[in-house]
Amino acid sequence: MATFDLLVNGFSQALTPTNLLFALIGSILGTLVGVLPGIGPTSGIAILLPLTSFLPPTPAIIMLAAIYYGAMYGGSTTAILVNIPGELSSVVTTLDGYQMARQGRAGPALAIAAISSFVAGTMGIIGLTFFAPPLAEVALQIGPPEYFGLVILALSVVVSLSGKSLLKGFASAAFGAFVALIGIDLTSGQKRFTLGNTELVGGVDFIAVIIGLFAIAEVLRNIEEATPSIYSAPLKSLMPKLKELWECTGAMLRATGVGFFLGILPGCTPGAISFIAYDLEKRVSKNKDQFGKGAIQGVAAPEGANNATTSGGFVPLLALGIPPTPALAVLLSGFMIYGLQPGPLLFEKQPQFVWAVIASMYIGNVMLLILNLPLVGLWAKMVAVPYYIMGPMILLFSFIGAFSVRNNFFDVWTALFFGFLGYLMDKVKVPTTPMVLSLILIPMLESALRQSLSMAAGSPVLLFTRPLTLIFLIAGVLMTIFSLYARYRKPKIKEHLLGDKEEAK
């Protein structure tokens, strides 16, 4: 069919040596940027944009797209090795990925991240290729009430992340919600919880919080335990066992579905999406107890979802000219500078351009896989580095990372504060993950709620009359009920015996 011809045409363009070269350079640069904590794809693309200015449009755009893909991938490396999520979407990868590294399975973790990203990303691009315009139309139908429903659905994940004490899990989530409310309320311009402090007026940056809770707290814990290095014994293997790979196929497929479809929706952050994918995987998994302790699907799911989201994000971008995330907004401005005018007209008026870019995305995915699989060995050896070097470097990178998000020194203090807080929370067994989930979701919840109310002049009617919204809300309630049921179904004796082992990290 016509689409296929165009795609083939696109490949023939994308496969020229120049374009391939720039796709490669873009992938490498993007990965490097993604590995650096704090600098995510958004700032990465913005910073690297000038580099493309001396190129003609097609290679320039190919390079930009490759940087984006690379950055989304790079964040998972540090998430797995040192518990520092490179950007929001890698937060969930730390849950099981870092545990795997502590167990000497950093190699398989990194490998499965690469493989899952490749599979899901490629499938996502296929979806993009063939279904972009109709999918984009669907995306437009999702309005504030539907978002509200979606967020409620996502919040139901809190139950399963709460570990042994539901009360503590909720407390953690509540605190996350509180932190999310600090700052200027966008709807009214009113300052909330800022206590007259100018810095707080800018709100608490969540990447700084995450760096603190995950990276800094972990270093403090390791200092206490006098860990010689992240993993000291000789590494077991660098690649996942064939059986493990097979077990992950389901995870990869599910993650692709979740990631791609949710990635189409403007405003749905990759962070939230990876939580949903992770939780889904945990629910359907036969070894759900392993999640949080090093289950390989716990890495495959969020990583796959990320890359599928990346591909999904291009649907509204190319088909409507609407960037669903800030990173894609920067990419969009890059595109526009090179004369690419995203929107339905794009597919009509500049087809060779579009298809060359789409073709290069396939290529980009392949390149990342080829680039990163061999590097797995190199990265995995890092776990043997003595902690008296690793620890200080992690702390330094944490500070730089926190600073780099908004070029604001206050964020470093934020990271430090949450580092100490995370360490304390661990001592009293309050889980930190619900706080992060809440921090990401509550702003979305509040704006969706208030927008829905404003749309109906203050009445909540829209939340209960629109079909999709109702579906999401009911699904959310059901999921919560199921999770609660699953949790309390276990006989009390088992709880006694298992004791504290059930704590989720």
Rule CB under 8 A: which of 352-411 touch another protein? 386-389, 391-393, 395-397, 399-400, 403-404, 406-409
The site string for another protein over 83-112 (x = CB under 8 A, - otherwise) reads: ------------------------------
439: left (phi over 0), alpha (psi -120 to 50) or beta: alpha
The site string for another protein over 3-32 (x = CB under 8 A, - otherwise) reads: ------------------------------
Q: Which of the residues 457 through 476 are near another protein (CB under 8 A)?
A: 457-458, 460
HSE, side-chain direction, 13 A CA sphere, residue 284:
15
140 sits near another protein (criterion: CB under 8 A):
yes
Q: Which stretch binds another protein (CB under 8 A): 34-42, 65-73, 82-90, 353-361?
A: 34-42
Q: Give the Cα separation of 483 and 173 in Å (integer).
A: 16
187 sits near another protein (criterion: CB under 8 A):
yes
Task: Show contacts of 396-399: CB within 8 Å, 24+ apart.
Answer: 397/36, 397/37, 397/84, 397/215, 398/37, 398/84, 398/211, 398/212, 398/215, 398/216, 398/219
**Count of chain residues binding another protein (CB under 8 A):** 113
49 sits near another protein (criterion: CB under 8 A):
yes
- Per-residue b or e along 217-226, where b marks 16 or more CB atoms closer than 10 Å to that residue's CB: bbbbebeeee
The site string for another protein over 266-295 (x = CB under 8 A, - otherwise) reads: xx----------------------------
**What does the CA dihedral 276, 277, 283, 287 come to, rounded to 10 degrees?**
-140
Nearer to another protein, 123 or 150 (CB): 150
Q: Give the Cα separation of 346 and 343 in Å (integer).
A: 5
Q: Which of the residues 306 through 345 are near another protein (CB under 8 A)?
A: 316, 320-323, 326-333, 336-337, 339, 341-345
127 sits near another protein (criterion: CB under 8 A):
no
135 sits near another protein (criterion: CB under 8 A):
no
Q: Give the Cα separation of 262 and 276 in Å (integer).
A: 10
232 sits near another protein (criterion: CB under 8 A):
no
One-letter amino acid of 408: N
Among residues 8, 223, 378, 481, the one that binds another protein under rule CB under 8 A? 223
50 sits near another protein (criterion: CB under 8 A):
yes
- Count of positions (residues) in the chain: 505
> Which residues have CB under 8 Å from 356's CB, separation 6+?
10, 13, 14, 19, 58, 62
Q: Give the Cα separation of 108 and 383 in Å (integer).
A: 13
User: Smallest distance from the beta carbon of 425 to another protein, in angstroms?
Assistant: 10
Q: Which stretch binds another protein (CB under 8 A): 40-48, 233-241, 276-284, 300-308?
A: 40-48
| CA angle (268, 331, 347) in 5-degree steps | 90
User: Smallest distance from the beta carbon of 307 to another protein, in angstroms?
Assistant: 21
Nearer to another protein, 187 or 249 (CB): 187
Among residues 12, 21, 56, 185, the one that binds another protein under rule CB under 8 A? 185
Which of 298, 293, 247 shows the shortest CA–CA distance to 274? Answer: 298
Q: Give the Cα separation of 165 and 346 in Å (integer).
A: 52
| CA angle (91, 97, 101) in 5-degree steps | 135
The site string for another protein over 421-460 (x = CB under 8 A, - otherwise) reads: ------xx-x-----------x---xx-xxx-xxxxxx-x
Nearer to another protein, 54 or 286 (CB): 54
263 sits near another protein (criterion: CB under 8 A):
no
User: Smallest distance from the beta carbon of 242 to another protein, in angstroms?
Assistant: 38
Q: Which stretch binds another protein (CB under 8 A): 170-178, 297-305, 377-385, 476-484?
A: 170-178
> Which residues have CB under 8 Å from 76's CB, separation 6+?
86, 90, 93, 97, 110, 113, 117, 299, 303, 306
